[in-house]
Amino acid sequence: MSGVMQKMAKQMQKMKQEFDKAQEELSKKIIVGSAGGGAVVAEVNGNGDLISVKISKEAVDPDDVETLEDLVLAAINQASQEAKASSEKQIGSLIPSAGGLGF
């Protein structure tokens, strides 16, 4: 294997290790979204997986289920959007510029 190919292989291996580490860190990160002044709270991890939804008793009105559904969606969407932005920032920082590969 030529020196350039060896250098490229080492850099690719390092990038994979950094990517795997970032993915692990994201899976442990908790992002919270809320709606209705905190009546509904959703938690997702940095990968965007829904972990929990908490609904206060005050938000539950059997005669107005639609509002509760909207609050749940809003809280989940807020948390998911923040998780996506966080993930893109963290993973994006691992992508080197063309000059970063040393060629």
- Please report, as a single letter, which amino acid is at residue 51: I
29: phi then psi, degrees, rounded to nearest 5 = -75, 135
List the CATH number of the domain containing 50.
3.30.1310.10
In a domain, 46, yes or no: yes
Residue 68: inside a domain = yes
Q: How many domains does the chain have?
A: 1
d(CA 36, CA 47): 25
Using alpha carbons, select from 79, 81, 82, 89 the residue that is nearest to residue 22: 89
Worst-scoring range by mean pLDDT, 11-20, 38-47, 87-96?
A: 87-96
pLDDT digit string, tens, across residues 35-86: 999 999 999 998 889 999 999 999 999 999 999 999 999 999 999 999 999 8
103 inside domain: no
Which residue range is the domain that position 67 belongs to? 3-95
DSSP category for residue 46: T
In a domain, 44, yes or no: yes
Structure-derived torsion over alpha carbons of residues 49, 47, 31, 18, reported in degrees to the nearest 10: 160
Is the confidence at residue 23, as pLDDT, over 60? yes
Q: Give me the torsion for CA of 44, 45, 51, 53, rounded to 10°.
A: -20
Q: Is residue 78 part of a domain?
A: yes
**What are the E-state strand segments in the chain?**
30-35, 40-45, 50-55
Q: Which residue has the higher pLDDT, 44 or 4?
A: 44
Whether 100 is covered by a domain: the verdict is no
